[in-house]
Amino acid sequence: MKIEILGMGCPKCKKLTQNAQQAVAELGIEAEIIKVEELDKITEYGVMMTPALVIDGEVKVAGKIPSKQEIMTWIKEKNN
């Protein structure tokens, strides 16, 4: 599973990264967490509000920080 965090390095992106890491750890799954900081690539996803969370190429949230529980639900949906 590929989890991408989109954001140009603002404090909110760090918070989102933390939440994603915790979600992955708690579920005990194999997932790669990648930070995407280039403006070009962020725009490629059609995302305008950062931070954003992309799971396996699908934009899950843009412009706010989802909670650990929310991220866990999305991961589970993907795995089913």
Which member of 16, 36, 60, 75 binds other proteins (CB under 8 A)?
A: 60
Smallest gap from residue 21 Cβ to other proteins (A): 18
Which helix (H) or strand (E) element contains residue 2?
strand 2-6
Which member of 39, 56, 69, 79 binds other proteins (CB under 8 A)?
A: 39
Q: Where along the sequence are the contacts to other proteins (CB under 8 A)?
A: 8-12, 39-40, 42-50, 52-53, 58-66, 70
